[in-house]
Structure 1
Amino acid sequence: MQFIIMLITFIGIVLFLVYPVKFSAEALGADNTGFGRCFFAVIASVFISTFTESIGISALIQLVITLAGTAVVFSFLLGAKLVQGFIIALLSTLIQFGLTFALIGLGSMFGLLKS
Structure 2
Amino acid sequence: MFDAVAAFIGHLHGIGLHGQELWIDGSFVSPKPEPADWDAVLWLSDEDVRNCTQSQYHALQALKLRKNLRQRYGADLYIGRWDDAEERDYWHRWFSADRDGAAKGYAVIIL
> Is the strand fraction higher in 1 or 2?
2
- TM (normalized to structure 2)? 0.30
- TM (normalized to structure 1)? 0.29
Q: Which is bigger in relative contact order (C-alpha 8 A, separation at least 6)?
A: 2
> Is the helix fraction higher in 1 or 2?
1
